[in-house]
Structure 1
């Protein structure tokens, strides 16, 4: 009985050891990733030309290795670096790259670099970005970099798209903060301030001109109104004077006479004309 128990215990331990050291295992390759199978032994050792799709993959861990690459969009924020323009001005560049891996070229990427994607980003891809900025900046003067920013970045995008795609990396987007040297920045600030001051002066001059035209128009209108009134009054006075005949004056005097003769030192009864009130 004891011997059977010992044999059973030994068999159980052997099974546990076999299970622990057996080489067969599996890898779950999630959606948005691509796995590649690497043969560690044999005449065909190296990266297979077969791309393993997503899902559960069984393999012999003693002879095979599975490396997983993400194929969804990656965003890498690089440390700033300095590039020089053709007139020796130094610009600080702080780039951020969005890209994704071409799934069909994952085996080629691993064969070429034999490194994880994070290391490839900080070595090959960073150097590619730096070279693109260096080459393009060397064809621009310092002031044209800022005044032709869109053209500057379009050329960088063209170079990156070409150089990254040939190694299996698909360019999506590049954003960069380009900081000019302090002296150029001061010149730009002064130029902008001058432009703003000129625009403000032009606006003030236009406003003053408009206000002056309003005043002239108002004064002209008032003068014309006064002239019209003066002409009207002059015409009315002329008509009144023309209508004051001796007979009309006599009638007006009779209408307003109260029947009393004025008293004078010469005595009463004098036929004097009284003023019309």
Structure 2
């Protein structure tokens, strides 16, 4: 009986130790600092040391793949290097003649992978926050500077030159911080007064072009009529000249001898008669 009680106590203690060991193991597993990060293709990761003399952003860019690290001492920040498209909220810029234009920009860019550590060291923020702060301010400043050098009407009449200057500024200011400019699409809306003037000007141009086209069409139609009348007159003249020439030739060919011969050929043998006074008849001599 005592032996059985001792065996039960031994088994009970072993069970307690096993359960305690499993609990401790689970706690260790739960709190252990080692983990990994999968850096997907089209992204780069940077390792940040949280402790030690070399704490801060390493100069080594971690390539794509699985990266193991200690979460207690190290942090991994992932930056996408594929093309990003950011649609910003509209803002207003002023031209040199104090006209206000609304700009609705959309930027396409990508990150220079070799400069990712520098980007994080400088801004210490995720890429989404950098887009809405530094990059948005850079875009706004580019539009503001360029708009101040244009008058309101020249902005609309020289859109290509206006946007080329903005592109030059953005390319320069973004690239020095590791952001490569790809494309900027901007919807520029002029003030209502200028838009009305543009509409009126376009309507006037269209009316003038329509009038010019109508005048050209009328002139063309008149030329066609003149050409037709000239052709008909020339045709009549040609026919008249031909008939006149034919008559002239016929008259030249009718000699007295030929006329007499034709008369003889047509004579039926009867002498022409006439009456004078009573019943006396006269014979007309034939010449």
Same fold by TM-score greater than 0.5: yes
Deviation (angstroms), 1:261:
4.4
Match of 1:54 in 2: 64
Match of 1:134 in 2: 144
| Cα offsets for 1:89-115 (capped at 9, x unmatched) | 011101000111111221221122221
In 2, Cα distance between equivalents of 1:226 and 1:46: 105
In 1, Cα distance between equivalents of 2:16 and 2:280: 178
Deviation (angstroms), 1:43:
2.9
| Cα offsets for 1:187-233 (capped at 9, x unmatched) | 22222222222233333333333333333233223222222222222
Match of 2:202 in 1: 192
In 2, Cα distance between equivalents of 1:254 and 1:269: 22
> Do the aligned partners of 2:99 and 2:152 also contact (CA within 8 Å) in 1?
yes
In 1, Cα distance between equivalents of 2:95 and 2:173: 22
In 2, Cα distance between equivalents of 1:210 and 1:143: 37
Match of 1:254 in 2: 264
Matched, 1:102 2:112: yes
In 2, Cα distance between equivalents of 1:19 and 1:252: 144
From 76, 92, 95, the equivalent of 1:82 is 92
From 227, 230, 242, the equivalent of 1:232 is 242
In the TM superposition, 1:1-277 aligns within 5 A as 1-262=11-272, 264-266=274-276, 267=279, 270-272=282-284
| Cα offsets for 1:222-246 (capped at 9, x unmatched) | 2222222222222322333333344
| Cα offsets for 1:155-192 (capped at 9, x unmatched) | 11111111111221111111101111111112222222
TM-score (norm 2): 0.88
Bigger Cα displacement from structure 2, 260-269 vs 124-133: 260-269
Deviation (angstroms), 1:8:
1.5
> Do the aligned partners of 2:274 and 2:281 also contact (CA within 8 Å) in 1?
no
> Do the aligned partners of 1:261 and 1:268 also contact (CA within 8 Å) in 2?
no
Alignment gaps of 5+ in structure 1: none
